Structure 1
Amino acid sequence: MTAAVKVAVIGTGLVGSGWAVVFARAGCDVALYDSVPGAAERGREVVAQQLRDLAAHGLIAEAPEAVLGRVSVARDLADALSGAAYAQESTFERLDVKREVFSAIDAAIGPDTLVGSSSSGIPASAYTDHVACRSRCLVAHPVNPPSLAPVVELVPAPWTAPETVRSVRALMEQVGQSPVEMTREIEGFILNRLQGVLLMEAWRLVEEGYATAEDVDRTVKDGLGLRWAFMGPFETIDLNAPGGVADYARRLGPLYRSIAASTAEHKVWDDAVIGTVEAQRRAVLPADGLAERRAWRDRRLMALAAHKKDAEA
């Protein structure tokens, strides 16, 4: 595959719209399809705004209008898939929805089109077992928004052809994403399994009264997150002990084992603790400010992306 291909984006919410930006800015022709009337048109409007914001931060090489010109709204699913080398499914994170969508894709797909799913944690084997094109299907899970956070988790089902993984990985690299490849399926994949451990402990610290949600956030924002913006956990600890990662593991392994032993029980987040965190968050950010704050987040991600781009030049 090359970047100059047609890509179908199926499901045009926040994730699907972000994917459309990724592919269009790399030179692909993008066909948007959504089963909800008017959703694809609204998705294209979101794409237009994202492109204007990216241009303001110097993150696209062309004029926003030129990139948007490669994004069209398909008449139906068959129109979106017609001639597409790749399709990115980004519908609701529900097994019944995904099974139905993949049945519809299978009925309309061409003989060579590959399909990636934006599933956050449901493995592809759960919703592609019944389709004839299953060897050409896999999970291609992004971070939201994919246009600003480039990692993509590639997770094959047991029947995904090796060539499918190789081709999708090559495409992702060509359009500027950062693919990571799992050898086999596991619930939650890499990103949400890592995030889940951090979230479980964050909720526990608040529930048991050790800290507020704001101070837990500050610990990550002004501590862990600063390093994690440009290095992962293994490189972090490799640099945090004089003798590297083995030295770190021997020095602090007993501490982490003790912490793990003290937190063996993983509770369901009940209404009481959810209410506590909700109240603390709404004291900091009223509900009517969420959309504005999301836009602020995206602008900060754009500034960070621009900084990292300059630093790597």
Structure 2
Amino acid sequence: MAQGRITIVGAGLIGRAWAVAFARGGCDVTVWDGVPEVLARFGGLGEEMVRGLEEAGLLEEPAAAVLARITTEPDLETAIAGCDMVQESLPEELAIKREIFARLDALAPADAVLSSSSSALLPSAISDGLEGRARCMVCHPLNPPYLIPAIEIVPAPWTAPEALAKAEALMRGIGQAPIVMGKEIDAFVMNRLQGALLKEAFDLVGGGYATPEEIDISIRDGLAMRWAVVGPFETIDLNAPGGVRDYVERYAGIYEALPESAPPAASWRGEVLDRIEAERRAALPLEDIPARQHWRDRGLMELAALRHARNRENSK
């Protein structure tokens, strides 16, 4: 387990999930939010997450021990005193990020890493002009990070290698799987991959080739079954007798020809969105989304428990 003092800035959904991830990994966590009502709600919601992990067998110690490492603090200066890393999880607006990073840079210990959970804003845009910009970066999770281990660590052009190394070590120490990017790019890695898949999905629905549910089946009950165990490069490495080069020699022509038969590009708005939304709302009314989110997270816990047991068995 890791050791360290972590400050979570923002007690919303992502901030709560980060607090649980760090505390489960052994860190002492202080949570701050500028909205008292949001901070007041943190305790019960965070405890629910931790108790769920305990029920799923995903804790190495009692839930009470994990919860004891999490505290809330309404004063920002007090919250970040002595911390090793700040994980900011405020709303996705550049002005908000820049304002809070300026405050963090002025108040945080000189050797503390300053990281944002931003899913789209570049770290250079967030930290430009700060005196301590060399310690600033983005650590972008997939939600929720206490169940999904992949983390994108994204440097600005001026982020110091030692700051990246410190963030990577902390993430590995709490059980995350960091992707340390060589440089920043819009949407980072995971959203660019997701965006490519979603573009094709919208185009296939728009062209009348498949329904939204059939697209979901192709991923949920098809490709994702493999991708939950191995990634796309290992998939093709295992799918040809001679490995990845053999696969490319056999099948590259199929993929290279795909643009010639590509369906017309569909707008993500308008008629195609109307069709997708109508099917989704028929399957899941809006008021049932919170319950379905809970169902999803329980499924992620079961999958995480299976992966954890399998990895432990493989390490023997």
TM over 0.5: yes
Question: Match for residue 226 of structure 2?
Answer: 227
The alpha-carbon deviation at position 265 of structure 1 amounts to 6.9
Distance 1:259 1:97 in 2: 42
Q: Give 3-state SS (helix, strand or coil) of 1:83's partner.
A: coil
Question: Match for residue 34 of structure 2?
Answer: 35
The alpha-carbon deviation at position 197 of structure 1 amounts to 0.5
Question: Match for residue 89 of structure 1?
Answer: 88
Distance 2:6 2:264 in 1: 44
The alpha-carbon deviation at position 66 of structure 1 amounts to 2.1
- Between the two proteins, the alignment pairs up a number of residues equal to 312
Q: Is the 8 A contact 2:124 2:156 kept in 1?
A: yes
- Structure 1: state its 5+ residue gaps: none
Does residue 168 (structure 1) correspond to residue 167 (structure 2)? The answer is: yes
Distance 1:132 1:271 in 2: 45
Tell me the C-alpha RMSD between the 2 structures.
1.5
AA aligned to 1:199 is: L
Q: Give 3-state SS (helix, strand or coil) of 2:130's partner.
A: coil
The alpha-carbon deviation at position 240 of structure 1 amounts to 1.4
User: For the structure 1 residues 7 and 265, does the alpha-carbon distance in structure 2 shift closer, same or farther, using more than 3 Å as the test?
Assistant: farther
Question: Match for residue 238 of structure 1?
Answer: 237
TM-score of the superposition, structure 2-length normalised?
0.95
Matches within 5 A, 1:19-98: 19-98=18-97
Distance 2:73 2:265 in 1: 45
Distance 1:276 1:130 in 2: 46
The alpha-carbon deviation at position 112 of structure 1 amounts to 1.4
The alpha-carbon deviation at position 276 of structure 1 amounts to 1.2
Question: Match for residue 196 of structure 1?
Answer: 195
Matches within 5 A, 1:139-150: 139-150=138-149
The alpha-carbon deviation at position 129 of structure 1 amounts to 0.6
Matches within 5 A, 1:259-278: 259-263=258-262, 267-278=266-277
- Structure 2: state its 5+ residue gaps: none
TM-score of the superposition, structure 1-length normalised?
0.96
Distance 2:138 2:232 in 1: 24
Mean Cα deviation higher: 104-113 or 293-302: 104-113
Sequence identity percentage: 46
The alpha-carbon deviation at position 165 of structure 1 amounts to 0.6
Distance 1:211 1:8 in 2: 46
Measured against aligned partners, the alpha-carbon deviations of 1:71-129 in whole angstroms (never above 9, x if no partner) come to: 11112221211111111011112222211221221232221111111111221001101
Q: Give 3-state SS (helix, strand or coil) of 2:36's partner.
A: coil
The alpha-carbon deviation at position 194 of structure 1 amounts to 0.6
Distance 1:240 1:4 in 2: 41
Q: Give 3-state SS (helix, strand or coil) of 2:6's partner.
A: strand
Distance 1:79 1:67 in 2: 21
Distance 2:80 2:156 in 1: 22
Distance 2:153 2:308 in 1: 24
Question: Match for residue 151 of structure 2?
Answer: 152
Question: Match for residue 251 of structure 1?
Answer: 250
User: For the structure 1 residues 25 and 195, does the alpha-carbon distance in structure 2 shift closer, same or farther, using more than 3 Å as the test?
Assistant: same
Mean Cα deviation higher: 151-160 or 67-76: 67-76
User: For the structure 1 residues 184 and 108, does the alpha-carbon distance in structure 2 shift closer, same or farther, using more than 3 Å as the test?
Assistant: same
Distance 1:275 1:50 in 2: 34
